[in-house]
Structure 1
């Protein structure tokens, strides 16, 4: 990231975005996890809003079992390594809100 783009980074628009970004920086997150910790019901829209800020967040296929013991497939969102610096920069702007 260039020096000029770092200087023009604007704060995120909502506390929900900051909470989601903190969770994603800690590791891959399921939709259910983000609903619980970031808040809100429309997690794909939340992820889309973070991607619009230049963050690379990819869905990672996973498998597991549901509460009835059946095999299920789902995805977790994962912040890509090349976006971790930008994520940290955005989180540092939270105090300025």
Structure 2
């Protein structure tokens, strides 16, 4: 039996400024995005935010959790309250429809800055209600 030779990792050149391990690392200036969420008292929005803090949600889940029939409009309203696209995103993921065709469906999720903005607003809301 012939022995398989293991591939040796490529060595980094001495003058190279690129990291070979973390090629997509961002500097702190690129990752600290400030989002200010204005808040809401709308029960549908509150149900959707609570669920989005727990997990990413496809449109059908947003509809059923919030109790509405137009999830994209609800998401648009939350973005208009300060979350914007950077705080509340939609990832298109591959899926299969009921006829077996390949489709892409949207899954909504809070980004790190969006999550921090909602949590900050929830803390302020809790302080105001305790007074």
TM range, normalised to the smaller chain?
Answer: 0.7 to 0.9
Q: Tell me which of 61, 82, 93 is aligned to 2:113.
A: 82
Cα-to-partner distance string for 1:9-63 (whole Å, 9 max, x where unaligned): 7541310000010111112111100111111112122111111121111110101
Corresponding residue of 1:65? 96
**Alpha-carbon separation, structure 2, partners of 1:76 and 1:83:** 15
Larger strand fraction of residues: 1
Higher relative contact order (CA 8 A, sep 6+): 1
Larger Rg: 2
Cα-Cα RMSD:
2.3
Comparing 38-47 with 62-71, which one deviates more in the overlay?
Answer: 62-71
Distance, in Å, in 2 between the alignment partners of 1:79 and 1:10 is 15
In the superposition, the TM-score normalised over structure 2's length comes to 0.59
Aligned position for 1:51: 79
Relative to the length of structure 1, the TM-score reads: 0.76
Give the count of matched residue pairs.
Answer: 90
For 1:42 and 1:36, locate their aligned partners in 2 and report how far apart those are by CA, in whole Å.
10
Contact 1:58/1:77 (<8 A) preserved: yes
